[in-house]
Amino acid sequence: MTDKEILEQLPYSKPFLFVDEILKIDENGVEGTFFFDGDLEFYKGHFKDNPVTPGVILTETMAQIGLVCLGIFLLNYKLNKRKLISLTSANIEFLKPVFPNEKVTVISEKIYFRFNKLKCNVRMLNEKNEEVCSGTISGMMVNIKQV
> Which candidate in 10, 33, 35, 46 is catalytic?
46
Q: What is the spatial distance between Cα 42 and Cα 104, in angstroms, rounded to a whole number?
A: 17
Q: Are 34 and 65 in contact (CB under 8 A)?
A: yes
Q: Tell whether the model's pLDDT for residue 103 goes beyond 70.
A: yes
Q: What is the spatial distance between Cα 44 and Cα 47, in angstroms, rounded to a whole number?
A: 7
For 4, phi and psi rounded to 5 degrees?
-65, -40
Q: Are 9 and 78 in contact (CB under 8 A)?
A: yes
Nearest to 61 by CA among 144, 5, 135, 129: 135
pLDDT, position 144: 58
pLDDT, position 19: 98
Count of C-beta atoms within a 10 Å radius of residue 12: 12
Distances (CA, A) of 54 to 27, 61, 120: 30, 11, 21
Digit-coded pLDDT (tens) for 52-85: 999 999 999 999 999 999 998 988 755 554 566 7
Is 55 marked active-site? no
Q: Are 21 and 31 in contact (CB under 8 A)?
A: no
Q: Are 102 and 52 in contact (CB under 8 A)?
A: no
Q: Percent of the chain beyond pLDDT 90?
A: 73
pLDDT, position 22: 98
Domain 3-146, what fold? Thiol Ester Dehydrase; Chain A (3.10.129)
Mean pLDDT (whole number) for 117-139: 97
Task: Return the domain boundaries, the chain.
Answer: 3-146
